[in-house]
Every structure is written in C-alpha cells, then in structure tokens.
C-alpha cells in the first residue's frame, strides 16, 4: 500500500510539473507545419530543441565544453532538413584527462538541468552510466498530450577526432536559428555508421544514404575508411561481422511509424530500396584488407595495433591512441571473462601436490 501511495504521489507531482511547462501556440505551430510540410508533433520538438540549443550556445560553460553530434547535427545544420531529428546528442570535450572530466561532469549536468528548468521543463534523468546520461525534458504539446525531448550527454568521446565547426540550426519559418558548436563531419559520419551497424533503425538507413553526398570531400578517401575502421572498433562485434542481414530485420511497419513522419509531406519510402541504398553506401567500408582485418581482430582481445591501420600517419595514430572509447575497449577486452559453472569449479579446485 505504501509503495502504491508513493507511485501515486510521484505521478501527481509529474502531472503538476507538466502543467507548469509553457505550452506553445497551437495556431503558430499549425501554420509552421503547413509551411514546412512537416507534421506538427515532430516540428514542435525541433522548435523546442532549437530553444534548448540556443540556451546552450549562450551558456558560458556549456558553449565551450559541448559539441553536438548525431542525427540532429547531420540533418538540421545544412539548410532545409531531409528529415527531422528530435534529440540533442552532445559530446563533452572540456577535458581529456579522466580525473578532470570527473570533476567537471557534475557542473555540466547541473548546468543542463538549470537551462531545462529555466525553460519550464519537468526533468527526468536516466541512470548514471560510465559514458554519460540522458536528460529527458517533459512538456505538454500543442495537442494537450504529455511529450518529451531528450538530451544525451556523452563524457567518453571527449577527444574530438576531427576539427570542430559552428553552424546555424534550421528552424521553421522566421524563427531564430541558433549557432551551435558541432563535432567535425567525419566524426559525425563515423558515429552514424556505428549507429547503423549497431541498432539499425529506419532513420539510420535513411541517414546512411545521404552520407556519401554530405561527406563528399572525404567519403571515398582511404584515410576516412581507416578512420571508420578505428571508430567502429568500439562496437560489440568485429566490423567484418556486420552484414546486410542486420538491415533486413527492419520492417516496413517500423519505417512507416518511425521514419516517414520525420520526412514530412506525402513521402513514401520503399523498404527494399531503403535497405539496398543504405547497404550500397556502407558496404565498401566494411570490406577490409588484410591489415585492417588484423587490426580489428587484435582489438577484440585488447591489442590496439594502430600501426597496422595507419602506419604512415603518426598524428592519427597518436590521436586515436588517446581516444577514450578505444582505451575503454582495450581495457574491457583484457578483463577475464566470467567462467562457466564447470570452469569455475575447476578454477576453485586446489592444485594437486606434485
């Protein structure tokens, strides 16, 4: 009974907080939706993301130590978006040393939550993970329903692997377009490739198709392929084990529910074409030569041999060698694996006397 009462009180508190959130002008959102040809729900999220991004860009600390990546960085910073993206994924880049990052992390998280409160959002937090945490900003949308936007703070990818840049974030109509610090496009592209291979969501397939054009200056270069091989070393499995069959798991119903509303208008997406085009874009990057394959296989057992991957690029070797996600991969690969029951009994058995 006590537990039920607590849950009811928490629910009541959340509802009260949601009532405090400023509800946007329904007619204004409807007009912008008509003009942009995007549905009002996702469009409202993009507008709210723009307000949060603008507040981050004005903040004396966050503007220096956060760099945007992911689907929002790819789709909302190069003119009218091919699709909407409804979260903000930030890398913390304020300090490379782990101890300095640990000291700074509470201040960064508090600053993000302060911004959210000032914008009248009700805040929820994910559990504290080594890589970071998510902050959920709850609000009541123009239709009167509870909704939320999401901020992802990553404290592991804190060493930029490509030059940072600043660009204006797309907003519909005449709304202000904030200037936001972004990760370099090669790093954003490599991150999207990782997302495609790992989770393979419909939006990942769509983004993959446009990456070769968005990254035209570097996409076909041997150095970018080496970069991707190193970046994807953080995945759970060797790069060469990821194939088209993972993409074939994406269902037409998922595409209609998750992707099409973000494209706007009467856009139709053919599942077979989507999968074929995405695979054609990524396939050249997962076919490895002998040295690339050896690098990948050695990394799985904690042996980081960047000399196999980029033997002639000392600067890249140095930067990748300092990159915390690869260091974390090596550390975890070297940890003893849990013993199975039979192995554990054998290990715990005292050695026979000679």
Tokens of 161: 């692997």
Cα separation, 85 vs 77, in Å, equals 11
Cα separation, 337 vs 314, in Å, equals 33
Dump pLDDT digits (tens) for 226-241: 999 999 999 999 999 9
pLDDT, position 3: 72
Q: Where in the chain is the domain with CATH 3.30.460?
A: 34-183
pLDDT, position 343: 42
Summarize the confidence of residues 314-336 as an average pLDDT: 93
Mode of pairing for the β-strands spanning 87-92 and 122-125: unpaired
SS in 3 state form for the chain? CHHHHHHHHHHHHHHHHHHHCCCCCHHHHHHHHHHHCCCHHHHHHHHHHHHHHHHHHHCCCHHHHEEEEHHHHHHCCCCCCCCCCCEEEEEECCCCCHHHHHHHHHHHHHHHHHHHHHCCCEEEECCCCCCEEEEEEEEECCCCCEEEEEEEEECCCCCCCCCCEEEECCCCCCCCCCEEEECCHHHHHHHHHHHHHHCCCHHHHHHHHHHHHHCCCCCCCHHHHHHHHHHHHHCCCCHHHCCHHHHCCCCHHHHHHHHHHHHCCCCCCCHHHHHHHHHHHHHHHHCCCHHHHHHHHHHCCCCCCHHHHCCCCHHHHHHHHHCHHHHHHHHHHHCCCCCCHHHHHHHHCCCCCC
Could you tell me what percent of the chain has a pLDDT over 70?
89
pLDDT, position 22: 53
Fold of 34-183: Beta Polymerase; domain 2 (3.30.460)
Residue with tokens 């970069």: 227
Other beta carbons less than 10 A from residue 39's beta carbon:
16
Dump pLDDT digits (tens) for 114-171: 999 999 999 999 987 878 999 999 999 998 999 999 999 999 999 999 999 999 999 9
Could you tell me what percent of the chain has a pLDDT over 90?
82
* Predicted confidence (pLDDT) at residue 1 exceeds the cutoff of 60: no
Output the CA torsion 234→236→240→245 (10° steps).
Answer: -130
Dump pLDDT digits (tens) for 69-107: 999 999 999 989 999 999 999 999 999 999 999 999 999
Summarize the confidence of residues 243-248 as an average pLDDT: 95
pLDDT, position 15: 58
Strand order in the sheet with 132-140: 122-125, 132-140, 146-154, 87-92, 66-69, 179-182, 165-168
Cα separation, 271 vs 45, in Å, equals 26
- CA angle 322–323–326, rounded 5-degree value: 110
8 Å CB contact between 88 and 74: no
Confidence at 12, pLDDT banded by 50, 70, 90: low
CA 274 vs. chain centroid, Å, equals 21
Output the CA torsion 210→213→214→219 (10° steps).
Answer: 110
Confidence at 337, pLDDT banded by 50, 70, 90: low
Cα separation, 2 vs 128, in Å, equals 27
Q: Lowest-confidence range among 8-12, 277-281, 322-326?
A: 8-12
Confidence at 10, pLDDT banded by 50, 70, 90: low
Confidence at 23, pLDDT banded by 50, 70, 90: low
Write down the pTM of the prediction.
Answer: 0.87
pLDDT, position 350: 32
């Amino acid at each position: 009974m006590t537990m039920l009462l607590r849950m009811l009180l928490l629910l009541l508190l959340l509802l009260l907080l949601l009532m405090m959130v400023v509800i946007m002008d329904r007619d204004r959102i409807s007009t912008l939706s008509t003009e942009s040809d995007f549905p009002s729900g996702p469009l409202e999220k993009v507008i709210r993301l723009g307000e949060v991004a603008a507040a981050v860009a004005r903040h004396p600390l966050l503007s220096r130590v956060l760099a945007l990546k992911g689907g929002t960085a790819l789709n909302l910073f190069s003119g009218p978006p091919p699709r909407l993206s409804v979260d903000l994924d930030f890398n913390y880049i304020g300090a490379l040393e782990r101890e300095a990052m640990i000291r700074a992390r509470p201040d960064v998280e508090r600053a993000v939550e302060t911004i959210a409160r000032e914008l009248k959002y009700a805040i929820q937090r994910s559990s504290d993970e080594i890589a970071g945490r998510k902050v959920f900003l709850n609000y009541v949308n123009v239709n009167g329903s509870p909704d939320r936007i999401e901020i992802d703070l990553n404290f592991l990818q804190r060493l930029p692997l490509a030059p940072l840049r600043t660009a204006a974030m797309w907003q519909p109509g005449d709304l202000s377009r904030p200037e936001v610090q972004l990760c370099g496009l090669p790093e954003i592209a490599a991150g999207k490739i990782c997302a495609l291979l790992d989770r393979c969501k419909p939006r990942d397939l769509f983004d993959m198709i446009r990456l070769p054009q968005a990254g035209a200056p570097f996409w076909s270069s041997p150095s970018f392929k080496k970069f991707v091989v190193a970046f994807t070393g953080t995945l759970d499995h060797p790069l060469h084990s990821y194939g088209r069959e993972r993409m074939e798991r994406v269902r037409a119903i998922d595409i209609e529910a998750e992707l099409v509303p973000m494209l706007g208008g009467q856009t139709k997406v053919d599942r077979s074409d989507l999968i074929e085009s995405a695979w054609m874009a990524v396939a050249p990057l997962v076919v490895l030569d002998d040295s690339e394959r050896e690098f990948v296989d050695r990394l799985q057992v904690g042996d980081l041999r960047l000399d196999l991957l980029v033997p002639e690029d000392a600067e890249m070797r140095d930067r990748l060698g300092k990159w915390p996600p690869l260091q974390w991969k090596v550390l975890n690969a070297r940890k003893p694996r849990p013993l199975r029951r039979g192995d554990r009994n054998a290990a715990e058995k005292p050695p026979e006397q000679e």
